[in-house]
Amino acid sequence: MGRVIAIANQKGGVGKTTTAVNLAASLSVAGKPVLLVDSDPQANATTGLGFERDADRQSLYDVLLGDARLEEVRLATELDMLDLVPADPDLIGAEIELVGVEGRESRLRNALSEIRQSHSFVFIDCPPSLGLLTVNALTAADGVIVPLQCEYYALEGLSQLVKTIEMIREELNPSLKLDGILLTMFDKRNVISHRVAEEVHGFFSDRVFRSIIPRNVRLSEAPSFGKPVLLYDTRSTGSESYLALAREILDAKAIA
């Protein structure tokens, strides 16, 4: 059975979607069947893989509302082993429409149950909030990866996310674990980047990934071309960093 991993941080602009798209792509080129679920109404993971944001098609919104099965909305991407469940702006309304629905926190988990056996990894790109969409992702997930930018205020709000993970574990998903903190936007020339990295290691110790994602122009440009960075510029440092992260995750899974 595949491992379901939520990519979450309620703080925006930390490299969350960049990580979801490029880690999923990196594992797929390693020969692993991967599904990327875009649960952010901004649909940046959807456009980052070359699809229109508000095309006339069914999306995760329809799955959560019970109007479609996940298999019916799944899209093939440029990479043979990578599929996408797209988002669209209608997802904004899902949190309101599901408020009075019984078992609303488990909608995504139930939907994934029919498909996770056919994928080695399922990644869920969460919105930058701790609302019902993120709760659904954490309830469905086996683990959480938290991208954390190497800038001022990096740890701001992180304690709240950790508390939310603990709450979900206690009340909805006992098997949920923090897979790790991923340092992003690292600039080796910047003293602040090094200080933040030291601080994060001090707080989280062995729960920080060895792989670090640098600031990289090619990594920033790739989404505007609707491609993961390894298809846009395979030899860029951004591409190499996500491939290294994929190897680290595969090694950890082999040991587990």
* Domain ranges for the chain: 3-255
Contacts by 68-73, CB closer than 8 A, 24 or more apart:
69/111, 69/114, 70/111, 70/112, 70/114, 70/115, 71/114, 71/115
Per DSSP, the chain holds a count of helices (H) and strands (E) of 12, 7
Does position 40 have pLDDT exceeding 80, yes or no? yes
Output the six-digit token pair for 66: 């019970």
Contact yes or no for 246/30 (Cβ under 8 A):
yes
pLDDT, tens digit (0-9, with 9 covering 90-100), for 121-135: 999 999 999 899 999
Output the six-digit token pair for 221: 């440009």
Q: For the chain, how far is it from start to end, CA to CA, in angstroms?
A: 14
Q: Which amino acid type is present at position 116?
A: R
Tell me the angle at which helices 158-171 and 132-140 cross, rounded to the nearest 10 degrees: 60
Mean pLDDT of the chain: 93
d(CA 165, CA 153): 20
> In terms of Cα–Cα distance, which of 197, 159, 194 is closest to 178?
159
d(CA 256, CA 12): 31
| Burial class, 202, CB count within 10 angstroms (exposed 0-12 / middle 13-18 / buried 19+) | exposed
pLDDT, tens digit (0-9, with 9 covering 90-100), for 151-206: 888 888 888 899 999 999 999 999 999 999 999 999 989 899 999 999 999 988 88
Q: Which CATH architecture has domain 3-255?
A: 3-Layer(aba) Sandwich (3.40)
User: Strand pairing partners for 146?
Assistant: 181
> In terms of Cα–Cα distance, which of 205, 210, 213, 199 is closest to 242?
213
Q: Strand pairing of 34-38 and 82-85?
A: parallel
Q: Strand pairing of 3-7 and 121-125?
A: parallel
pLDDT computed for residue 56 by the predictor: 85
Contact yes or no for 6/45 (Cβ under 8 A):
no
pLDDT band at 225 (very low <50, low <70, confident <90, very high): very high
pLDDT, tens digit (0-9, with 9 covering 90-100), for 205-221: 889 999 999 999 999 99
Kindly report the pTM of this predicted structure: 0.96
pLDDT computed for residue 154 by the predictor: 82
Counting Cα atoms < 13 Å in the Cβ hemisphere of 179 gives: 23
